[in-house]
Amino acid sequence: MNREFFLVLLLLASPAVMADKLLVSLACVEESDFNNQTYQNGAMLVDVKASDDNVGYAVTKYLSKDGDVKQGMTYFKAMTKTQQGNNEDFILFSTRQNAADLGKDADFLGINFKDLGNKDGALYRAVAGRGHDEVSISRTGYFCVENK
């Protein structure tokens, strides 16, 4: 019986041991906030992670004005070229997972890791929206800082 208990504990503990690696955590606000305009979403939190098999992905959450956390989406690192061309600082994530879905609309998240900040801290730009290939149906721009 002790052996069975040990095996159950080992199985339950194994996902914690193999947790995905957090590469960077960002806190983002919509660009329109800087112009004192109304905004649709609260702040967006983004965790960029890598799985054990080296698959990159990003997980988003949104904060409401009341402080509630609303689960966002999980985006997978895209392997395609983007409008950003040869900009190595720009990483595109998408909900599209199959080659058969190319040309169909999907949700996307793009993060430009070129530092636009100053000595007080890094500042990045991000865009989230929906579209396909190089056509955006809707998109929202964000300014992001590292969430420590």
Q: Report the pLDDT value the prediction gives residue 1, as an integer from 0 to 100.
A: 45
Mention every residue, 6+ apart, whose C-beta is less than 8 A from residue 30. 39, 40, 41, 140, 141, 142
Q: Is the pLDDT of residue 136 over 90?
A: no
Across the range 100-129, mean pLDDT stands at 88
Q: What is the pLDDT of residue 36?
A: 54
What pLDDT is stored for residue 84 in this prediction? 58
Residue 30 is assigned to a structural domain of this protein: yes
Instruction: Kindly tell me if the per-residue pLDDT of 148 is higher than 60.
Output: yes
> What was the pLDDT predicted at 13?
45
The confidence band for 16, taking pLDDT boundaries of 50, 70 and 90, is very low
pLDDT digits (tens, 9 = 90+) for 88-110: 888 888 887 777 777 788 888 99
Mean pLDDT calculated for residue range 8-15: 43
Q: 83 Cβ partners below 8 Å, 6+ apart?
A: 134
**Structural domain contains residue 105:** yes
pLDDT at 11: 42
Handedness of CA 138, 129, 110, 131 (dihedral sign): negative
Give residue 52's Cα distance to chain centre: 18
Domain extent, residue 77, equals 19-146
Q: Report yes or no on 4 lying in a domain.
A: no
pLDDT in tens, 37-53: 555 667 899 999 998 88
* Residue 43 contacts residue 27 (beta carbons within 8 Å): yes
Domain assignment present for residue 45? The answer is: yes
In a domain, 3, yes or no: no
Task: Look at the chain and report how many structural domains it folds into.
Answer: 1
Q: Is the pLDDT of residue 81 over 90?
A: no
